[in-house]
Structure 1
Amino acid sequence: MTRRLRPMGLDFVETAPIRLVFAHEIAAAPEPVFRALADDVPGWTSWFSAVTLARPTDDGAGREIWLRGGVRFEETILAAKGPEVYAYRVDVTNAPGARALVEEWRLTPAGTGTRVRWTFTADGTTAFRFVLRLARPGLGRAFRAAVTSLDRRLAG
């Protein structure tokens, strides 16, 4: 069953009850990393193994994302300020217990490469928040693997 979430803005990245922040440095420069995040939405399936379908919607103002395990998201892009920030909120999902979700990808130069920081923010039922806290190590591993895979893809 799908449910509509609260329409949060970018300020939720700083104020959310659950804030999971992960960072990893890669060799690729910020510009191609940003293009992979913001412009090549269907390409997410080739470097983020949890993503099984990714497509832009609303002439690029939104995204539809399917994850392994059956979770689905309809999202609105909140920021696409290349090559520094790409952020979106989830408007509709079938994830049980979710009430609000916003994700921000922040890119900063690191030598000739990029420091990629992913902030996953959420609110939901007590059980949902508990599960997200438990999932933190797995989300961190998935993020690092995805960004490493993206770096290899951009190098090739």
Structure 2
Amino acid sequence: MARRLRPVGLDFVAEAPLRLVFVARMAAAPERVHAALAGDVPGWARWFRAVTVARRVERAGGDGREIRLLGGARFLETVLADEPSRRYAYRVDVTNAPGVRAVLEDWQLLPAGTGTVVRWTVAVDGPAPVRLAVALGRPGLGHAFRDAMRSLDRRLAAMHGGGA
């Protein structure tokens, strides 16, 4: 059953009771990474293995996304920050995932030579058992993130004839 979560702003990324941070280096330049994250939402299903459906949707609060994951989790999200070559952040407004009260994901893109350091923060609020379950899932999320970043980097290199 879908449930509405507590709406949070960008400050939640620093204030959330649980924050998981993952970092990866990519050969692709920040503008190309940002274009894949923010500009090609349906493309997520081609490079992020856990994503089965990704599409833009109209949301009352601004640009939105609908995301479906392997295993059946569904999310309706509102984009909170879309700063070309720098940042892409969104909060989850509605989900069928049990127990969570608020979720925000923040993708920071930092130039690194001709490439990009991607810093993905997942900020979560929920009762203690939910926070514990999410924290215990950290290794799996980290693996999924690193795999997705490698896959995206290969995709961007193939599309643009190289990493730079």
TM-score, normalised to structure 1, is 0.98
- 1:139 aligns with one of 133, 138, 141: 141
What residue number does 1:6 align with? 6
- TM-superposed CA distance for 1:127, in Å, is 1.6
Task: Indicate which of 101, 123, 126 corresponds to 1:99.
Answer: 101
How far apart are residue 110 of structure 1 and its match? 0.7
Amino acid at match of 1:49: R
* Whole-angstrom distance in 2 between the partners of 1:12 and 1:148: 28
Deviations 1:1-40 (A, max 9, x none): 1100000000000000010000000100000100000010
Identity %: 63
- The 5 A counterparts of 1:7-156 are 7-58=7-58, 61-156=63-158
Distance 1:140 1:125 in 2: 22
Tell me, in whole angstroms, the C-alpha distance in 2 between the residues paired with 1:121 and 1:146: 19
Q: Any unmatched runs of 5+ in structure 2? A: 159-164
2:137 aligned counterpart, secondary structure: helix
Task: Please identify, of 50-59 and 17-26, the stretch whose mean Cα deviation from structure 2 is larger.
Answer: 50-59
Runs of 4+ in 1 over 4 A off after TM superposition: none
1:114 alignment partner AA: T
Q: How many residues align?
A: 156
TM-score scaled by structure 2? 0.93
List per-residue Cα deviations over 1:45-93 (Å, max 9, x = no partner).
Answer: 0000000000001177000000000000000000001110000000000
Q: CA deviation at 1:126?
A: 1.8
Query: Match of 1:38, SS?
Result: helix
Deviates more, 1:125-134 or 1:97-106: 125-134
Cα distance between partner residues in 2 of 1:39 and 1:28: 15
Tell me which amino acid in the other structure corresponds to 2:149.
V
> Any idea what SS the aligned residue of 1:56 has?
strand
